[in-house]
Structure 1
């Protein structure tokens, strides 16, 4: 077997064979005889013998290759399915197809209808009424409205994840029907943990929309993730305790204050007691696009946070801390505008929780001192994913020293790291010390991450030929054996450095050399020839 070659499973090969022969073998007879019959429950044939996951994989294969037809989808909607995603074939899904799902697939616990926008709301509502086992439901970019949300609230009491992103017909009042049944006077969807309303904007009065989000946050005491552009405004009202708006809620719905009183007491693990927390403490574990100004105030409502994305201001105008979130494992810090905040400014903020971090993403920051990035990564030994987009400004200060020392031989130990992305934008020619320290940092990282699968080094001015020569010249065990994806766009590397990667023992599948000015056309052809001779399946991009 060639280095890094993958052996396809027998089931995968069989599914590919079925997909290639679907039209000529499996669908011709069915199309002629049964295409217009929507309500029969069973189809004798090979597909009712496949396990549910294999049927779903076949739907994905056919959908991604644009080989799935209406007849093929009819055949694959099997009664034993527990999970079904029609996302790969959304264009085929209409009212009749949804009726077929309603009749046949009564055991579904997960249903994905993303972008199935040809299905009317009444059909969607009828569908969810017949699927009480649902735990995951994805209706983003569909015609979902108050009728659908009311049906979900009334019939899907096991639901844990719901995606209603980009559903343009959702209003403030329809959002309330999701979590409260007016007819029976009870709260609904109490098992819900994830509710996504991304790109859903309010209709009419924006204040009522914010109040509706407050209602949902209070009505779902165990909600862990809620995504919507107005989320921060709603949390601000909760923090200030403004729960008595004059024109909200609509008739027959309880007031915000009444909803707040129904929330169960939260358990204080430290004191081993259960208390009703002031300021309406939320159970949220993930917050997106939290403004830096709100990090201390609104963040105090969510002390169980595990993942947070914070938008940094152009200037640091106040102090905030991550210590209030002892469970934090995923941290994203980004500047929405042009980079004006220095990496060095946020080091002390990250340090207290650095050992807990599994994912760290730093986007659109200035990197001014050559040691700061190495210091930061050293503080985070449990990282699984590191992603960064940094700008090195002009006139980066670095003292002239003696002859540059060799790169350090000790690895920077990151035993769990599987993704490392470093994208640099350099505004001027860098001082040799900065470039040298950058190369040494990369050597230490690459030697210390045995589980690395995805590596992206874009715009790197350090000589990557030397970096990979040192890394692959190190002693056993052989480094980077799990590497699958490598991007070196616009970086300082030649055909020699790239050949070291291709000759190494790894699982490489894609290699991006776009805009690498020292890789010529003849080099590209040599690399392609090398891959062919080694009988490896590596896709190389170059221009």
Structure 2
């Protein structure tokens, strides 16, 4: 038997069709079957109803129209023939089918199109697994991912750069065997899979070009199981069972033989807990120091890990290192610091010695003198380099407020942060000032901010005034509101926002009638001071409610002014979600719809709410007349959710839905 065998598949033909070509046609032939008049009319109606315009109103390209035609005929032509004649009768190493003629980019786009339309079947996927495929995502159809399919992927698509198996319930052994046969992977998503430590070690040993890894929601994976991604001594620790009989080997060169993958993105939120309370922070500290190219990280304990590294409190995790058979974190820090200093002093050129030391000794020096000099130099680096050592992190999720100052000093290039403010109550003045001071270090560069805070949203105003000038994404979860909440000032501190998400608790006390009347008079007198966000594309204001509550309590009447400004002044708005608002909404939307057209800087007419595509008005007082006017105003709207809107009946909803192509949801 030769070592390498070239397997070429030729479709076996039935005896009665041996004279026909085995190649399946790319397009349907006109004489393949006879159609009745009713079938022909039905097909012509379907063709005419198929829109030839994209969401922006532009004519679709010829390439996209051809892909739509392929997607429409996939089930009835190629997938049907393959499923009827070959799928369960043969196991093909490779298929010489019609899609081998298409460029890999078109096959990827066709696969994604079928997934989005929920038309991707097992037979169709078999036909689309071609050698030129570079990216494959089964995120929207994880049920198709089986052990048999993974065998086909590794056999036919060894040039894959990107693989997404999110949600696929594949055995750990299957995942490891699959990843072992895909050596050029640059992006891998295993979120929600049974990924465990054995799979992580396979990734560390075999995926030498991996740049992005997502193992979020992998509940079989503990924080300590991620440490082997650091390569070298971390991979070949004595606690690593996958190393077999060599796991206790003390060879000084073996750990240096395996370099960590060049990960720039590591997402590992919502995984299993560690054996001890500090395991998350310890594992994050090892990974932050052993992965020098890391720019995006999402891990529990990453904030505490930055504090440990910044304060050099390595003794706090000695127990973790001993328990897992890992080298001392101080040793890993010295090596990382040495590499960084070597890179700075020599223009990025690293020494070729396997031990990762900063300088090589001369040949005349004895081994003892060399070790002594190296120890002195490492100690000097340890004492003098801590003020200048920084991490490359730019996007960090899983931060905590109490250690944010250490993160800001250790990671000066951050432009996106997400974390929790755990304060056991309200954010005090000192804590608020500390949060603002920490964010001040990223002022002018922070583009995304996501905070989970159970206190008053007003407490976050100083922090937003410091960092809001450059924000394009803001997400505030769990915040509390009151009739006196300066929401206009809070949102106004972020004038460049494209996405705004606020999930809040409604006010506990109603607004006084006098304040309400003054507010209404102010709105009628002058609309020039309305809050406007001209770049806003997505707006979400969702208020919590009790499940047995039919109508929200109208306790924040001044919110109407903020809403009117946002809706009328955000002409680019595409996604709108206003749920259980503690104020009337119907009158606000009607006022916005009656707003005269206004022009932008280029004197182009802009229509308020004219670009909306997805609308959610659950548990609000909107009426069916408003919804009908809204659908006439925005021709692009696809879906409107009016569930539990007490002023809309089911009959009204059905009548309105019959007049529009948009989906109307009512319950």
Q: TM-score range by the shorter chain?
A: 0.7 to 0.9
Closer/same/farther in 2, CA of residues 187 and 351 from structure 1, 3 Å limit: farther
Provide the C-alpha distance between the structure 1 equivalents of 2:485 and 2:177, rounded to a whole number of angstroms.
60
Find the counterpart in structure 1 of residue 450 from structure 2: 332
Find the counterpart in structure 2 of residue 494 from structure 1: 623
2:150 to 98, 118, 136: 98
Find out whether 1:415 has 2:526 as its counterpart. Answer: no
Find the counterpart in structure 2 of residue 454 from structure 1: 575
Instruction: Judge conservation of contact 1:110–1:137 (CA < 8 Å) in 2.
Output: yes
Provide the C-alpha distance between the structure 2 equivalents of 1:97 and 1:380, rounded to a whole number of angstroms.
48
Provide the C-alpha distance between the structure 1 equivalents of 2:324 and 2:81, rounded to a whole number of angstroms.
59
Find out whether 1:221 has 2:292 as its counterpart. Answer: yes
Higher mean alpha-carbon deviation, 460-469 vs 348-357, is at 460-469
Find the counterpart in structure 1 of residue 42 from structure 2: none
Closer/same/farther in 2, CA of residues 25 and 417 from structure 1, 3 Å limit: same
1:165 to 213, 216, 225: 216
Closer/same/farther in 2, CA of residues 13 and 37 from structure 1, 3 Å limit: closer
Provide the C-alpha distance between the structure 1 equivalents of 2:590 and 2:459, rounded to a whole number of angstroms.
34
Provide the C-alpha distance between the structure 2 equivalents of 1:107 and 1:84, rounded to a whole number of angstroms.
11
> What do residues 322-342 of structure 1 show as CA deviations (whole Å, max 9, x unaligned)?
21223221112223xxx5x22
Provide the C-alpha distance between the structure 2 equivalents of 1:209 and 1:355, rounded to a whole number of angstroms.
33
> What do residues 390-416 of structure 1 show as CA deviations (whole Å, max 9, x unaligned)?
322214467546572444433644222
Instruction: Judge conservation of contact 1:131–1:156 (CA < 8 Å) in 2.
Output: yes
**C-alpha deviation, 1:501, in angstroms:** 0.4
Higher mean alpha-carbon deviation, 98-107 vs 200-209, is at 200-209
Find the counterpart in structure 2 of residue 85 from structure 1: 137
Provide the C-alpha distance between the structure 2 equivalents of 1:195 and 1:5, rounded to a whole number of angstroms.
35
Provide the C-alpha distance between the structure 2 equivalents of 1:169 and 1:438, rounded to a whole number of angstroms.
45
SS at match of 1:517: coil
Find the counterpart in structure 1 of residue 189 from structure 2: 138
Provide the C-alpha distance between the structure 2 equivalents of 1:16 and 1:392, rounded to a whole number of angstroms.
50
Instruction: Judge conservation of contact 1:107–1:131 (CA < 8 Å) in 2.
Output: yes
Structure 2: runs of 5+ lacking an equivalent: 1-50, 237-253, 349-383, 547-551, 599-604
Provide the C-alpha distance between the structure 1 equivalents of 2:324 and 2:475, rounded to a whole number of angstroms.
45
Provide the C-alpha distance between the structure 2 equivalents of 1:363 and 1:158, rounded to a whole number of angstroms.
37
> What do residues 261-296 of structure 1 show as CA deviations (whole Å, max 9, x unaligned)?
2324489x9xxx9x9443953322233343333333
**C-alpha deviation, 1:93, in angstroms:** 3.2
2:97 to 27, 35, 45: 45
Find the counterpart in structure 1 of residue 641 from structure 2: 512
Any residues of structure 2 matched to 1:178-197 within 5 Å, and which?
178-181=229-232, 182=236, 183-186=254-257, 188-197=259-268
Please identify which structure carries the higher helix content: 2
Find the counterpart in structure 1 of residue 662 from structure 2: 538
Q: TM-score, normalised to structure 1's length?
A: 0.85
Any residues of structure 2 matched to 1:240-279 within 5 Å, and which?
240-244=311-315, 245-246=318-319, 248=321, 254-263=327-336, 264-265=339-340, 276-278=385-387
Provide the C-alpha distance between the structure 2 equivalents of 1:103 and 1:168, rounded to a whole number of angstroms.
29
Larger of the two Rg values belongs to structure: 2
Instruction: Judge conservation of contact 1:125–1:151 (CA < 8 Å) in 2.
Output: yes
Find the counterpart in structure 1 of residue 509 from structure 2: 394
Find the counterpart in structure 2 of residue 309 from structure 1: 418
Provide the C-alpha distance between the structure 2 equivalents of 1:359 and 1:114, rounded to a whole number of angstroms.
25
Instruction: Judge conservation of contact 2:205–2:258 (CA < 8 Å) in 1.
Output: no
Any residues of structure 2 matched to 1:90-129 within 5 Å, and which?
90-121=142-173, 123-129=174-180
> What do residues 346-374 of structure 1 show as CA deviations (whole Å, max 9, x unaligned)?
21221011111111112222222457111
Q: CA RMSD in A?
A: 3.5
SS at match of 1:296: helix
Provide the C-alpha distance between the structure 1 equivalents of 2:391 and 2:401, rounded to a whole number of angstroms.
19
Closer/same/farther in 2, CA of residues 75 and 426 from structure 1, 3 Å limit: closer
Provide the C-alpha distance between the structure 2 equivalents of 1:93 and 1:4, rounded to a whole number of angstroms.
31
Structure 1: runs of 5+ lacking an equivalent: 532-536
Provide the C-alpha distance between the structure 1 equivalents of 2:296 and 2:395, rounded to a whole number of angstroms.
5
1:284 to 386, 393, 407: 393
**C-alpha deviation, 1:258, in angstroms:** 1.9
Provide the C-alpha distance between the structure 2 equivalents of 1:386 and 1:311, rounded to a whole number of angstroms.
18
**C-alpha deviation, 1:455, in angstroms:** 0.8
Size of the aligned set, in residue pairs, is: 522
Find the counterpart in structure 1 of residue 559 from structure 2: 438
2:463 to 324, 349, 354: 349
**C-alpha deviation, 1:386, in angstroms:** 0.6
Q: Which fold has the larger relative contact order, with Cα–Cα distance below 8 Å and residues 6 or more apart in sequence? A: 1
1:375 to 489, 493, 498: 489
Closer/same/farther in 2, CA of residues 455 and 218 from structure 1, 3 Å limit: same
Instruction: Judge conservation of contact 1:368–1:397 (CA < 8 Å) in 2.
Output: no
**C-alpha deviation, 1:300, in angstroms:** 3.6
Find the counterpart in structure 2 of residue 467 from structure 1: 588
SS at match of 1:364: strand
Provide the C-alpha distance between the structure 2 equivalents of 1:221 and 1:110, rounded to a whole number of angstroms.
22
Closer/same/farther in 2, CA of residues 365 and 92 from structure 1, 3 Å limit: closer
**C-alpha deviation, 1:11, in angstroms:** 3.4
Instruction: Judge conservation of contact 1:4–1:506 (CA < 8 Å) in 2.
Output: no
Closer/same/farther in 2, CA of residues 170 and 424 from structure 1, 3 Å limit: closer
**C-alpha deviation, 1:184, in angstroms:** 4.4
**C-alpha deviation, 1:69, in angstroms:** 4.8
Find the counterpart in structure 2 of residue 293 from structure 1: 402
Find the counterpart in structure 2 of residue 534 from structure 1: none
Higher mean alpha-carbon deviation, 461-470 vs 491-500, is at 461-470
